[in-house]
Amino acid sequence: MASQILFLGLIMLTCSIALASDSSPLQDFCVADFNGPVLVNGFACKDPKLVQADDFFVSGLHLMGNTSNAMGSKGTLVTVAQLPGLNTLGISMARIDFAPWGVNPPHIHPRATEILTILEGTIQVGFITSNPENRLITKVLQKGDVFVFPQGLVHFQRNVGNGNAIGIAGLSSQNPGVNTVGNVVFGAKPDIPDDLLAKAFQVDVNIIDQIQSKF
């Protein structure tokens, strides 16, 4: 009986590990066929005989993103949508540009762990652990430093220098997803009822209305 429970426990553990990131490929590659009629988890494969080098290639990551926005930051993604050869490979990347004191606001990647390398500037990073501890783990990074944000945790980055800053992120999914906390909570379409959010955040409804108007 005890051994059966142990066996069951092992199976559950194995399954949860396997489901924590993109599933492993069963072939050399499966270049995304965006126009295919078949709906699957990810994208159907382009005919391997028609695959070209350009299916595994993208250019332009040397170009600075446009940081002229309210946050003062811009992420340039290289996920399966930009690079069809990433389909089924469980990996992607992004360049993140920061204006002086620009912020990449608190967000979650529902499907990926992120590993960030600082190429230029000084960047404060942080993530917050799950309930009930909600511990903020934060550090100031310099050029050449590397920091990892565990999958599914709320995290942020901020340029704490007076020059531009650049980071390159690796992500453990072909399609990591981005749920920006402000956008999902205050910019939902249609709005989450303001009295509900007033209760959730323990403030007056008019404060919620004011924040919702910014998203």
Ligand X SMILES: *[C@@H]1O[C@H](CO)[C@@H](O)[C@H](O)[C@H]1NC(C)=O
Q: Which residues bind ligand X (CB under 6 A)?
A: 66, 68
Query: Minimum Å distance from CB 213 to ligand X?
Result: 19
For the CB of residue 63, give the shortest distance to ligand X in the complex, in Å: 10
Q: Shortest gap between Cβ of 74 and ligand X (angstroms)?
A: 9
Which residues does the annotation place in the binding site? 104, 107, 109, 114, 155
Residues at the annotated binding site for Mn(2+)?
A: 107, 109, 114, 155
Tell me the residue nearest to ligand X as measured from the CB: 66
Rounded distance, CA 192 to CA 213, Å? 12
Q: How far apart are CA 8 and CA 14, in angstroms?
A: 10
Residue 14 or 66: the one with the smaller Cβ distance to ligand X is: 66
| CA dist., res. 43 & res. 47, Å (int) | 12
Nearer to ligand X, 141 or 166 (CB): 166
Nearest CB to ligand X, comparing residues 72 and 121: 72
Minimum CB–partner distance for residue 68 and ligand X (Å): 4
Cβ 157 vs Cβ 96: under 8 Å: yes
CB 172 within 8 A of CB 150: no
Minimum CB distance to ligand X, residue 171 (Å) = 25
Instruction: Give whichever of 97 and 194 is closer to ligand X, judged by the CB atom.
Output: 97
Looking at the Cβ atoms of 69 and 206, the one nearer to ligand X is 69
Q: How far is CA 96 from the centre of its chain?
A: 12
